Amino acid sequence: MSLAGVRGRFPALRSRKGQAVPAYLDSACMSLVPRDVLDAMEEYYRDYPGCAGRSLHRFAEQVSHRFEAARDGFAKFLGAPDRNGIVFVRNATEALNVVGQGIDWQRGDRVLVTDQEHNSNLVLWQRLARERGIQLVTLPLPDDGSFDSDAYEQEVARGVRLVSVFQTSNLDGRSLPVQEVVERAHAHGAEVLLDGCQAAPHAPVDLAKLGADYYALSAHKMLGPTGTGILAGRLESLAKLRPLLLGGETVEWSTLTDHALRPPPHRFEAGLQNYAGVLGAHAGIQFLERTGRDEIAAHDRALNRRVTQALSGEPRLRVLGPPDADRRPSIFAFSVNGVDPHDGALFLDAGHTVFVRSGMHCVHSWYQKHGLTGNLRASFYLYNTTRDADRLVAGVRQLIEQMPGAAAAS
Q: How confident is the model at residue 1 (pLDDT cuts 50, 70, 90)?
A: low
3-state DSSP assignment of residue 96: helix
* pLDDT tens-digit map of 118-137: 999 999 999 999 999 999 99
Nearest residue to 310 via CA among 299, 302, 300: 302
C-alpha span between 172 and 141 (Å, rounded): 12
Specify the length of the chain in residues.
Answer: 410
Helices (H), 258-313: 275-291, 293-311
* pLDDT tens-digit map of 267-287: 999 999 999 999 999 999 999
> pLDDT over 70 for what percent of the chain?
98
Q: Note whether 28 and 266 are within 8 A (CB).
A: no
Omega before residue 263 within 30° of 0, cis: no
Q: Does the pLDDT of residue 69 top 60, yes or no? A: yes
The pLDDT, as a whole number, for residue 104 is 97
* pLDDT tens-digit map of 137-171: 999 999 999 999 999 999 999 999 999 999 999 99
Q: Would 3-30+292-402 and 37-289 be classified into the same CATH topology?
A: no
DSSP structure class, residue 348 = H
To the nearest whole number, what is the mean pLDDT of the chain? 95
Q: Does the pLDDT of residue 192 top 60, yes or no? A: yes
Q: Note whether 37 and 223 are within 8 A (CB).
A: yes
The pLDDT, as a whole number, for residue 5 is 84
Q: How confident is the model at residue 109 (pLDDT cuts 50, 70, 90)?
A: very high
* pLDDT tens-digit map of 236-250: 999 999 999 999 999
Q: How confident is the model at residue 405 (pLDDT cuts 50, 70, 90)?
A: low
pLDDT mean over 175-187: 98
C-alpha span between 296 and 294 (Å, rounded): 5
Could you tell me which residues come within 8 angstroms of residue 403 by beta carbon, excluding any fewer than 6 positions away?
336, 338, 339, 343, 344, 347
Rg (CA), the chain: 22
The pLDDT, as a whole number, for residue 410 is 37
Q: Does the pLDDT of residue 322 top 80, yes or no? A: yes
DSSP per-residue letters across 148-208: -HHHHHHHHHT--SEEEEESB-TTT--B--HHHHHHHHHHTT-EEEEE-TTTTTTS---HH
Q: Note whether 18 and 269 are within 8 A (CB).
A: no
Strand partners, 163: 112, 192
Segments making up each domain of the chain, as ranges: 3-30+292-402, 37-289
Strand partners, 88: 230
Burial class (CB in 10 A: 0-12, 13-18, 19+), 299: buried
Q: Does the pLDDT of residue 57 top 50, yes or no? A: yes
Q: How confident is the model at residue 3 (pLDDT cuts 50, 70, 90)?
A: confident
CATH number of the domain at 3-30+292-402, out of 3.90.1150.10, 3.30.43.10, 3.40.50.300, 3.40.50.10420?
A: 3.90.1150.10
- Helices (H), strands (E): how many in the chain? 13, 15
Cα atoms in the 13 Å half-sphere on the side-chain side of 91 = 11
> What is the 3-state composition of the chain as percent helix, strand, coil, each rounded to the nearest 5?
45, 15, 40
Q: Note whether 212 and 183 are within 8 A (CB).
A: no
The pLDDT, as a whole number, for residue 95 is 98
Q: Which residues are catalytic?
A: 362
37-289: CATH class: alpha beta
The pLDDT, as a whole number, for residue 404 is 62
Q: How confident is the model at residue 55 (pLDDT cuts 50, 70, 90)?
A: confident
The pLDDT, as a whole number, for residue 406 is 47
C-alpha span between 378 and 304 (Å, rounded): 9
Nearest residue to 173 via CA among 59, 304, 274: 304
Q: Does the pLDDT of residue 45 top 50, yes or no? A: yes
Nearest residue to 115 via CA among 378, 295, 370, 382: 370
The pLDDT, as a whole number, for residue 408 is 43
